[in-house]
């Protein structure tokens, strides 16, 4: 994809050079005819003579050159260089036109193939302000995802920031669109469009296709939270409610809020992560399966019954269905996954 962009830029550079050359040929021809005819004709006549020669139109000569061999030689040279320049210009323009169309088709096919190969990925429905931030967080934490949005401009905006991201241009409430995004192999779906009604329809459609899929939805009006839960959303976030709580916290707990904001804004910073402990490690001690490391801090374990064990000791015995909660950077998260596998 990068190579294709470089090739296109190179062709455009050549086109600019050819156009400049064509302009130079006309200027040179006009001046040369004026000099060789001793200024006996109007400047426009000299330009016109140059133009019909370069463009190979072949109209009759504007002025008599039967007794002016130098002017005739100039006409031959202009015909050779002009025809060559025009031919090159049209060739480059044709290649650029075909390449843009072919590249778009090839990129679409490559993207479709990449989406089909995805497993355990996320589907992001809606690329507004909230959706862009979700996409950024998924990219930073290196989690594979596919975006769905019916607005080509929203897709393009994200492509400009993240050229390699995968997307489906369409309606997330459509079954085929969600299947195209790989909902059969996804581990989660975000319904974060700007309209509660649309998010509700996305939830219902996704839940019908995948009853076991985890769905997180955005809700503008808190009155719709219960409705979205009944529709099948596992978790609902209200930006207005969360924003209000964040503002209050910034006043009464400024250092905590500052710490969290710095953690989220810095791409290389830590995140609070949750990692499912494989059933094969049941019965082992926590210290045996997760050694202390500079890239992560073990914060707690969520038991299968929902109880949270905060700051468990290294001798704590792993139970069936436990979830490990840790503060880790990207490398630390992968280290933990490798140790637990």
pLDDT in tens, 44-69: 877 887 777 777 776 666 666 767 78
Average pLDDT of the segment spanning 239-251: 83
Confidence at residue 2, expressed as pLDDT on a 0 to 100 scale: 39
Burial 17-42 (b: 16+ CB within 10 A, else e): ebeebbeebbeebbebbbebbeeeee
Confidence at residue 261, expressed as pLDDT on a 0 to 100 scale: 74
Average pLDDT of the segment spanning 285-291: 81
What CATH number does the domain located at 270-340 have? 3.30.70.1450
Contacts of residues 286-289 at CB distance under 8 Å and 24 or more positions apart, as own/partner, are: 286/312, 286/313, 286/314, 286/315, 286/316, 286/317, 286/318, 287/313, 287/314, 287/315, 289/318, 289/339, 289/340
pLDDT band at 306 (very low <50, low <70, confident <90, very high): confident
Domain ranges (residues) in the chain: 2-113, 118-237, 270-340
Distances (CA, A) of 308 to 175, 300, 313: 38, 7, 13
Average pLDDT of the segment spanning 95-100: 67
Question: What is the pTM assigned to this prediction?
Answer: 0.59
Task: Name which of 140, 194, 186 is nearest 162 in CA terms.
Answer: 140
Confidence at residue 66, expressed as pLDDT on a 0 to 100 scale: 67
Cα(87)–Cα(94) distance, integer angstroms = 11
- Give the residue, 130 or 77, on which the prediction is more confident: 130
pLDDT band at 255 (very low <50, low <70, confident <90, very high): confident
pLDDT band at 212 (very low <50, low <70, confident <90, very high): very high
Average pLDDT of the segment spanning 86-101: 73
Top CATH class, 118-237: alpha beta
Confidence at residue 268, expressed as pLDDT on a 0 to 100 scale: 60
Average pLDDT, the chain: 83
The yes-or-no verdict on residue 287 having pLDDT over 90 is no
Cβ neighbors of 206 (< 8 A, separation 6 or more) are 123, 178, 183, 189, 191, 213, 215, 232
Distances (CA, A) of 110 to 62, 97, 170: 57, 20, 18
Q: Each residue of 147-182: pLDDT tens digit? A: 999 998 888 888 888 777 899 999 999 999 999 999
Per CATH, which fold does 2-113 belong to? Helix Hairpins (1.10.287)
Lowest-confidence region among 66-75, 131-140, 298-307, 317-326: 66-75
Confidence at residue 202, expressed as pLDDT on a 0 to 100 scale: 96
Helix axes 43-54 and 2-36, enclosed angle (nearest 10): 130
Average pLDDT of the segment spanning 237-245: 83
Confidence at residue 148, expressed as pLDDT on a 0 to 100 scale: 94
The yes-or-no verdict on residue 192 having pLDDT over 70 is yes
Confidence at residue 102, expressed as pLDDT on a 0 to 100 scale: 59
Confidence at residue 69, expressed as pLDDT on a 0 to 100 scale: 80
pLDDT band at 103 (very low <50, low <70, confident <90, very high): low
Confidence at residue 1, expressed as pLDDT on a 0 to 100 scale: 41
pLDDT band at 280 (very low <50, low <70, confident <90, very high): confident
- Locate 225 and state its tokens: 């939270």
Average pLDDT of the segment spanning 5-30: 76
């Amino acid at each position: 994809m990068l190579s294709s962009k470089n090739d296109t830029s190179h062709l455009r550079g050549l086109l600019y050079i050819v156009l400049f050359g064509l302009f130079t040929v006309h200027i040179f021809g006009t001046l040369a005819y004026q000099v060789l005819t001793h200024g006996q004709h109007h400047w426009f006549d000299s330009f016109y003579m140059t133009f019909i020669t370069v463009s190979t139109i072949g109209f009759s000569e504007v002025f008599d050159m039967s007794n002016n061999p130098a002017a005739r030689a100039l006409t031959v040279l202009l015909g050779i260089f002009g025809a060559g320049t025009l031919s090159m210009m049209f060739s480059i323009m044709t290649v650029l036109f075909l390449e843009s169309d072919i590249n778009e088709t090839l990129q679409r096919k490559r993207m479709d193939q990449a989406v089909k190969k995805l497993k355990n990925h996320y589907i992001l429905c809606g690329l507004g302000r909230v959706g862009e931030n979700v996409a950024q967080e998924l990219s930073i934490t290196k989690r594979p995802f596919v975006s769905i949005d019916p607005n080509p401009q929203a897709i393009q905006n994200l492509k400009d920031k993240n050229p390699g991201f995968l997307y489906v241009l369409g309606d997330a409430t459509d079954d085929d669109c969600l299947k195209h995004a790989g909902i059969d192999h996804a581990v989660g779906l975000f319904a974060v469009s700007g309209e509660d009604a649309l998010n509700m329809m996305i939830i219902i459609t996704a839940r019908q296709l995948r009853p076991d899929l985890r769905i997180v939805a955005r809700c503008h009006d808190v009155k719709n939270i219960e409705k979205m839960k009944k529709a099948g959303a596992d978790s609902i976030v209200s930006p207005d409610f969360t924003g209000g709580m964040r503002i209050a916290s910034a006043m009464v707990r400024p250092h905590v809020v500052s710490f969290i904001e710095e953690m989220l804004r810095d791409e290389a910073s830590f995140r609070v992560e949750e990692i499912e402990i494989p059933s094969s490690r049941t019965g082992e001690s926590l210290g045996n399966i997760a050694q202390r490391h500079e890239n992560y801090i073990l914060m707690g374990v969520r038991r299968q019954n929902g109880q949270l064990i905060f700051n468990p000791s290294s001798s704590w015995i792993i139970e069936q269905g436990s979830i490990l909660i840790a503060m880790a950077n990207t490398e630390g998260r992968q280290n933990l996954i490798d140790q637990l596998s």
